[in-house]
A and B are shown apart, each in its own frame.
Chain A
Amino acid sequence: MAQFNWRMPRWFHQMGSPKWFYNFGGLLQPWFTLAAFLLLTCGMVWGLAFAPADYQQGNSFRIMYVHVPAAILSQSVFLSMAIAGAIGLIWKMKIAFMVARSCIAIGATFTLIALVTGAIWGKPTWGAYWVWDARLTSTLVLLFLYAGVMALNQAISERQIAGKATAILAIVGTINIPIIKYSVEWWNTLHQSSSFSLTDKPTMPSEMYLPLLLTVLGSYFLFGLVVLTRTRAQILQTQNGASWLMQHKDISGAK
């Protein structure tokens, strides 16, 4: 019987090297900054001033261009955090725990933005800031999940153990997210017969759709930028005294 040899590609293991990650991240960082800035600026200006108003919701529809990226990212970031955590647990990669740790604050921020903009959008649409809408409710639960991850990560002072504990919680949370989502949706249909969802549009013309694409992409780049910056900062903190770092131009040739 032929033996199956489970091997990850070379770049995967390179990613686990602090030096390689630090340098490669440094190469990517300016491009991520540029992409995030350009995409978000263009998308937001387009969405604010140039996209046509919705025939039903009028101009409040423009909130979509910030609400939807935040809502998408809030879930993507949690998933990324869990994947990074799983990589850290399986391949014992310290960098992966640092990446997961870098995800927490930005993910919670996106969730908060999604929640607050959703509530503000609700005022002109439903006539109230808060209704127990399925999406808003599950976003609220997601914010609680982030709060738990954040609290756990800060409660344990030993970085390595905190990383592992956070990874386990993030994985369990990620498994739970779809269950929570569907149960909340089901609960919502049980209790509220008439409320139309904010963003369910069967057809959207492209001039309405394209700005959204830009802000979503821009948000992804911004997320990448923040994770790179914070992970590299953590590498600096933990690799104190490593010779590659001490001779690095970022430190020796710094202003």
Chain B
Amino acid sequence: MYFESVDALWHMAGHGPYVWSCYGLFIVLLAANVWHARSERKQALKQAQAFIRRNSNYQANTYVDAP
């Protein structure tokens, strides 16, 4: 490691707040994007499953009702 201690890594000779906030921002915003993409996919999957359920019910009903 370049720094002597974890404390030095945290402070970075006075530049700590700047460096850590940049890394934090990078991680948080990108993670939010990945999370958003994933939730979008989950929602789409749910919708597709609901579509199947609706559809199979409909088919079953027509089948039962048919003379």
Contact = CB atoms under 8 A, between A and B. Distances in A.
Interface of A: 44, 48-53, 58-60, 62-63, 66-67, 70, 102, 105-106, 109, 112-113, 116-117, 120-121, 123-124, 219, 222, 225-226, 229-230, 232-234, 236-237, 240-241, 245-246, 250-252, 254
A112 B15 CA distance: 21
Specify the main secondary structure of chain B where it touches its partner.
helix
Nearest to A57: B15
Contact of B1 (A49, A53, A116): A49
Interface of B: 1-3, 9, 12-16, 18-19, 21-23, 25-27, 29-30, 32-34, 36-38, 40-41, 43-45, 47-49, 51-52, 55
Looking at B15, B47, B52, which has the most chain A CB atoms within 10 Å of its CB? Answer: B15
Contacts of A229: 34, 37-38, 40-41
For the residues of A in contact with B, the DSSP-based class is helix
21 contacts: A48-B23, A49-B9, A51-B2, A58-B12, A59-B16, A60-B12, A62-B12, A63-B22, A66-B22, A105-B36, A109-B29, A109-B33, A117-B25, A225-B37, A226-B34, A229-B38, A233-B40, A237-B47, A240-B48, A251-B49, A254-B45
Given A59-B19, A117-B22, A251-B45, A105 B52 contact: no
Given A49-B1, A66-B22, A236 B15 contact: no
